[in-house]
Amino acid sequence: GGPDGGMVRDNLTGLVWTRDAEPAGFPLSWQESIDFIERMNAEKALGCSDWRLPNRRELRSLISHQEKNPALPAGHPFRNVVLAWYWTSSTAAVNCAYAWYVHMEGARTFYGGKSQYFMLWPVRGEGNGLLPATGQVRCFDHAGGEITCLGTGQDGEHRRGRLWPEPRFQLAGDTVIDWLTGLGWMRVADSAGGPVTWEEALYQVAGLNPAGAVAGGGWRLPNINELESLVDLGRHSPALPANHPFGDVRDGYWSSTTSMYEPDWAWALYLTKGAVGIGRKQGAYFSAWAVRDI
C-alpha cells in the first residue's frame, strides 16, 4: 500500500506499519523494544496510540520469498530497513526466556534470548482477518517466568489475528482438513518415508497422485507459508495445536519454496521448535508432508 505520511498500510493484511523500519535508531532488548513502543503510544507517535510489537505471523506477513536484501516486496515504500534480526512479540514455547525474530536479509525465522539486542518495527490496526492468530495465549518475562498478560504488550496479551475454528481439524479418509486455512493435509505426516532430499520430496509427493491427474488439483509439497500455518506458537515438540489428529509427525519438513538468498537451498519448517529455516536441497535433511486444496 502507499505511504500515508510516516505510516504504510499493507493492503494484503490491512495492517499499518511505520514507514521507518528503524524507529528506535539502534538495537534493543526484547523488553526494551516493548517499552519503546509503549513510549511511542504515550507520545502519540504519528498521531496514534495503538502501536504494538508485531507477533510472528504479523511480521512474517511483510516478507516476500521472491526477494532478498531485504526480503520485502519489490518496490516497497519502507525506509531504513536493516538487514538484521527484528523482534516479534511472540515468546518461544521451547524456551520461554527466548522470543521469536525474523531476519530481513533473507527471511529466516528463529528465536533467541530476550536479553539480546535486535531491531523493532511497530505495527497497528486490527487487520482484515487474513492472518490467523499464533496460538500464543500466555505471557512470560525476560527470564522465562510466566506473568499476567495485562499490560505486557506481548502476543499473549494482544492475541491478534483470526480466531481458530472449533474444531480446527476434521478427518476425511487419508486427509485432515484444516478449517483455518481450507487446506487438506495427509493424515500420516511422512509422505516420503523418512528424510529425503528436496527433489526426492517433490517427486515422492507428486507420485501420490494417480497417473494422468490434472496438475494443480492433487497432492503437492506445501509452500513455506502453508507449512508455517500449522504452527501453534504456544506449543513445541511438536509445535502443533493440541489434540491434532496427525500421525508420524517428524522433526522437520521441506517446503516447495526455494531460498532466493541461496537458490541451492530451500525453505523448511523445523516443527519440533516451530522455526522457519533453510536446508541445502542436495541433503536428505527433512521429511515431506503432502497437502492439497479442498
Which three cell numbers, joined as nine digits, stand for 146? 510466566
Which three cell numbers, joined as nine digits, stand for 216? 494443480
The neighbour count for residue 21, using CB atoms within 10 Å, is: 22
Q: What is the pLDDT of residue 108?
A: 96
Q: What is the pLDDT of residue 5?
A: 73
Return the CATH architecture of domain 3-158.
Roll (3.10)
Average model confidence (pLDDT) across the chain: 96
Q: What is the pLDDT of residue 3?
A: 45
CA distance 278 to 28: 26
CATH T-level topology, domain 169-293: Mannose-Binding Protein A; Chain A (3.10.100)
Q: pTM here?
A: 0.96
What mean pLDDT is predicted for residues 225-238?
98
User: pLDDT for 266-284, tens place per residue?
Assistant: 999 999 999 999 999 999 9
User: pLDDT for 160-178, tens place per residue?
Assistant: 999 999 999 999 999 999 9
Please give the C-alpha separations between residue 75 and each of 67, 71, 111, 214, in angstroms, as whole numbers.
11, 11, 29, 35
Q: Which of 70, 60, 159 is nearest to 109 (CA)?
A: 60
The neighbour count for residue 78, using CB atoms within 10 Å, is: 19
Q: What is the pLDDT of residue 93?
A: 98
Strand partners of residue 183 = 178, 293
- The Cα diameter of the chain in Å comes to 63
Q: With b meaning 16 or more CB within 10 Å and e meaning fewer, what string describes 84-123?
A: ebbbbbbbbbbbbbbbbbbbbebbbbbbbebeeebbbbbb
Q: What are the extents of the domains in the chain?
A: 3-158, 169-293
Within this chain, domains 3-158 and 169-293 share the same CATH topology? yes
User: Pairing between strand 7-9 and 139-140?
Assistant: unpaired
CA distance 278 to 68: 14
Q: Which of 204, 253, 197, 255 is nearest to 226 (CA)?
A: 255
What mean pLDDT is predicted for residues 172-190?
97
The neighbour count for residue 146, using CB atoms within 10 Å, is: 12
35 phi/psi in degrees, rounded to 5? -65, -40
CA distance 101 to 220: 29
Q: What is the pLDDT of residue 113?
A: 98
Per-residue pLDDT band at 215 (split at 50, 70, 90):
low
User: pLDDT for 7-37, tens place per residue?
Assistant: 999 999 999 999 999 999 999 999 999 999 9
Per-residue pLDDT band at 217 (split at 50, 70, 90):
low
Per-residue pLDDT band at 212 (split at 50, 70, 90):
low
